[in-house]
A and B are shown apart, each in its own frame.
Chain A
Amino acid sequence: MSKRDIAILTDVALITCVVQRGVAEKIITVAYEAGAQGATVNFAKGMGIRERLGILGVAVEVEKEVIHIVVSSDQVERIFEKIYLAGDLDTPGMGIMYITPLEKAATYIPPEVLEKLAAPVAGG
């Protein structure tokens, strides 16, 4: 009986981005275009900025979307920056994002991709 294989991914990082409800789609589109492979969205409620903005606080939705995107360490800076610009995170109340280094990740990897990686690079 043969053991099942797990392909472990290393050099992975997690980008988490909290934005107002309804904005996630825009962020994810940008991340996809920059090479991200997938995204997860949670709904949440946020506090803090609304209180500090005074009357302008009404412009900030309390309901948030939390986007998780797992990316490779080569991509992480690029996607981080794209999200920042797409989400207008330099505007008060638009949200926050952060990168978490991940030790390992595992998921479905197409077999042909695995084969290609296993084969020695032609021409060295």
Chain B
Amino acid sequence: MAKEIRFGEFIREISANQRAISYNELTPDPKFDADGNEVPYRAPRLRLRGIDIQRLLTPYVGVRVLDQVRTVVPLALYLMLFQILILRQGVSDVWIIVGGFGAVIVGLMLFMEGLSLGLMPFAEVIGNNLPKKSPLPLVLLIAFILGVGVTYAEPAIGALQQAGAALDVNKAPYLYYILNERTQALVLTVGIGVGFAAVLGSLRFIRGWSLKPMIYLTFVPILLLVGFLMFDPELSKVLGLAWDTGAVTTGPVTVPLVLALGIGIAAAAGKGSSSLSGFGIVTMASLFPVIGVMLLTVVISFSISAEEIILLAQNTAAAEAEPGFMDNKAVSIILAGVRPIVPLVAFLFLVLKLVLREKLSGAGIVAYGLFLAVLGMIVFNVGLETGLAKLGDQSGGLVAGAFAAVTEIAGSPLYSVAVGIAIALAFAWALGFGATLAEPALNALGQTVENLTNGAFKKRTLMMAVALGVAFGISLGIVKIIFAVPIAYLVIPGYVLALVLTFLSSEEFVNVAWDSAGVTTGPVTVPLVLAMGLGFGNSVDAIEGFGILSMASIGPIVSVLMTGLFVQYSMRRQEQAQKKSDEVSAGAIAT
């Protein structure tokens, strides 16, 4: 017996069974055809056992579900707990809502995965090749159509369409008319706005334009239109909607697709990609739709009067059309999933085939991705209706019970007016703060900013600044609804303040700050906040509950710009202190 045993050999004996197999037995021998030419080897498909499939899919699905759970569940819990603990009200239809949230999680997961597998390859191939092969006007035209298409595909846009149903035509006829009778025109207008943003953004990539003058220029028409609309008592009610559309457009479809195209254009133009040039498109994409919707309102106001709309609404209500094929619930839900994605894909495919004559590798996976995207959209829409919108509407309506008489709550108001309003504001504040910090896009933005500023602007600082901005913005939005403050009185000072700060800040911070507004309004936050605002508005008898989202996007712009100025200021002070101490030490050496 040997005195020493090698530890390695010892271990080999006691642990898992090892079996040596020669790799030669697994690799194929070369095959030759009759002429003696080698036949290329093609690996056969693997056949998997059930357990293999399960083990393969578990981590794949798990990671993606967790991503969505992390953003959705805390929000839902917060709303429910608030309702139960502070308002002492049970959540009605709990199981429907829980099921709805489940559908939102699954739907978003499927949709995001479908987006990255099915749509992004198109955008990348087109972005890389189109600018090299086609003249600039054609590229811009395609960018424009793409901008319109992605708006239809944005999941949150469905929430906007749904929001119209609860409106009272007598209180806000134009708002009712746009949301119910002219939904298609509304979405198209928003899309055209995003389309122009994509064109301008692409030009900006090529020419390296600065964002500041673009912001100043955009504000001339915005201020003119707001001025025109706010003095007409009927039209001014549409302003809240107009500003809210800006927040809706900058979701998980628009931003990556338009960016992929823009970056491709910049690379082809030989401008490289300064990491900053990626910013700014989001800003434009959230400002132009505002202009678009205001213009639409003006056009409609010339073609139809408020009385005519009320008459029209009464007629349609009386002549409730019998349910046809399109009105079938299941069919309409499926159509709502197919309609936004299929035309966009068809367009991208045509561009690829006719303009570029390029092939897409991995057609099977792309098809699978598109299938997932459509499926995800359908499931998400169901969840939106039964989960997000329902809970938002419920808590929004009940929060009002803290300070006002609400029929659903026995013995409301629960608290005195001052305390009740304070509770409602605190509720909105915490909701905005939490929802923003949970938004995954903000984390990514924070990282980019920290890298860009060499750590001067910490990721944590940015995230806090944005979250605080959104929190105060949402609270302001609630104030707007409670006291029926015209939205123009909040929006104009807010944006003028943002303009002044923009003027004072350096280009980098301007880019970051204006984009942070778009980042905060994801597919979960938007429907929830919209529904909450509308429910809240209904129970305090406000004319319309829009405007919270727009306040939530002004807030972070102002807060990030201010933080940016502060960071700049402290950096400059540090530098000066550094210089002084250098001079002192230099002087010491000289003497």
A contact set with B: CB distance below 8 Å: 22, 48-49, 51-60, 73-78, 81, 85, 88, 91-94
Contacts and interface: CB of A to CB of B under 8 A. Distances in A.
Interface stretch (B11-19, B279-287, B489-497): B11-19
B56 A58 contact: no
A88 B43 CA distance: 23
Contacts of B18: 81
Q: For chain B, which range describes its interface: under 10, 10 to 19, 20 to 34, or 35 or more residues? A: 20 to 34
Contacts of B7: 74
B6 interface: yes
B56 A91 contact: yes
Interface string B351-374: 000000000000011001100000
B12 to A, nearest CB: 5
B368 A58 contact: yes
A51 B361 CA distance: 12
Contacts of A59: 56-57, 60
A77 B11 contact: yes
A48 B369 CA distance: 20
B contact face: mostly helix, strand, loop, or mixed: helix
Q: Which 10 residue pairs across A and B have the least CB separation, nearest first?
A: A59-B60, A91-B55, A74-B7, A52-B46, A77-B8, A78-B11, A74-B8, A77-B12, A52-B43, A59-B56
B43 A81 contact: no
B418 interface: no
A69 to B, nearest CB: 16
B48 interface: yes
Contact of B46 (A75, A76, A77, A92): A92
28 contacts: A22-B63, A52-B43, A53-B46, A54-B45, A54-B46, A55-B364, A55-B368, A56-B48, A56-B53, A56-B56, A56-B57, A58-B60, A58-B117, A58-B369, A59-B56, A59-B60, A74-B6, A74-B7, A74-B8, A76-B8, A81-B15, A81-B16, A88-B55, A91-B52, A91-B55, A91-B56, A92-B46, A93-B56
B266 to A, nearest CB: 24
A87 to B, nearest CB: 11
Contacts of B44: 52
Interface string B1-26: 00000111001100110100000000
Given A51-B43, A91-B52, A57 B15 contact: no
A78 B15 contact: yes
B115 to A, nearest CB: 13
B45 A52 contact: yes
Looking at A52, A74, A77, A94, the one whose CB has the most chain B CB atoms below 10 A away is A77
B117 A92 contact: no
A52 B45 CA distance: 5
Interface string B40-54: 000111101000110
A120 to B, nearest CB: 18
Interface in B53-78: 53, 55-57, 60, 63
A48 B43 CA distance: 9
Nearest to A11: B8
A57 B8 contact: no
Contacts of B364: 54-55
Contact of A78 (B8, B63, B365, B368): B8
A124 to B, nearest CB: 14
Nearest to A61: B60
A94 B364 CA distance: 21
A11 to B, nearest CB: 10
A49 B48 CA distance: 12
Contacts of A53: 45-46, 48, 56
A45 B477 CA distance: 48
B56 A92 contact: yes
A54 B364 CA distance: 9
Contacts of A52: 43-46
A52 B63 CA distance: 23
Nearest to A48: B43
A52 B365 CA distance: 13
A22 B60 CA distance: 12
B368 to A, nearest CB: 6
A51 to B, nearest CB: 7
Contacts of B53: 56
A110 to B, nearest CB: 22
Contacts of A60: 56
A22 B63 CA distance: 11
Contacts of A54: 45-46, 364
Nearest to B53: A56
Contacts of B12: 77
A57 B56 CA distance: 10
